[in-house]
Structure 1
Amino acid sequence: MDKSWVRMHPCTKEFDDGLKAFIEHAFAHGFVCASKVKCPCIDYKNMNDVNKEILYEHLICRGMMSNYKVWHLHGEKFETTPTPETIIDNIDGECGECSDGGDRDYIIDMLRDRRHNHLLKMLNPKLPIREIQKKHKNEFAGWFKECIITANKAKQSIHVELGVIAEGPFAIEKRFTGYTVGGFHFKTVGRDRGSTTQ
């Protein structure tokens, strides 16, 4: 797939021809849902679905993300058989360039389940969307925990909150017999059963 047009000025014929070819290819071979594809413009970063006209307008006016190298959402095939690692590495490039530490966008994407959905779609291209959603629902928690464990083994810096989320809920439930809110004391029903008041 020719990508040289991306670096050209939007007013050139080469850019326009390349963009039109990209759009036709994306709608013929990419992930199309309700006649829309993900928009790889600088602002949308493959997060929002758009039709052909909006896609054309966004890529002319805003430009394509510089770190979207393998256009797998738009029909480009991997040069080798994709592995989960290569898919996740490419999805890293899709999420946009992070500022102020960079972990915030990573956390948001992980919690939105985006990486896992992409992984399932890439590894099961012929599976219907409903089946992918079922697989995602059943497998996400284990996959997320495994991602955090792998990142920790690789000595990558991970937010403490991500580690806590990956561990899952506590097995011990804490209960309280009373609460203080705004200086007022409240007791639970269980604590009030044995009390008498005047």
Structure 2
Amino acid sequence: MNIIVIGCGRVGSALATILSADGHNVSIVDEDESAFDKLPQSFCGKKITGIAFDSGTLIEAGIETANAVAIVTPSDNTNIMVAETVRSVFGVKNVVARIFAPRKKRTYDRLSLRSVCPTTVGAYQIYAEILGAQVESRLPLNNGDFELIEIPATSMDEKETKSFEKESGSKIVGARTGTRVVFPWLGEKLDDVKSWIILAPTSHLRSIVDSIVGGA
């Protein structure tokens, strides 16, 4: 894919490095040339110095053939302005913007901008870590509003799993049985379950862990 990263701070430089290492054609833009010092020597993408919302800068970065644009500057106003320009002027549909200040999320949502808030995601990730070994793995979703978690299993039959889902507001999406993951919603049997894979609201995470692990 041809991907443009706007902003070469800590997030932007890390993202550009990952994308480049994965074989994508990457251009990264920043108005401060010294920002590119954050990139490793192995980075083989294109570095563009210029104002992010300037059409000339975007064209130099390859916006006319871009498959995706990630806008990750430390300014919400800049991120929103660039996202709107990229979508409306150049017609790029795959646009993701960084939310710098969490209170700005509603603005992004109102403009129907796909966005990620590292602050919120990080905070919820730390919160989940505080739960300790009771949660074997976790993946924050929707800016941390939900978590895909894996919890050591306690015995639950079909009736009990449905009751658990209703009471907790969560969804059991899978179960690990030895080396396999089975999916109850496909009618697969839940024999010798080692752990449950659950899609859960982060706000309910503590009570969900307590109800499963605490009742084991």
**What TM-score do you get using the length of structure 1 for normalisation?**
0.26
Larger radius of gyration: 1
More helix by share: 1
More strand by share: 2
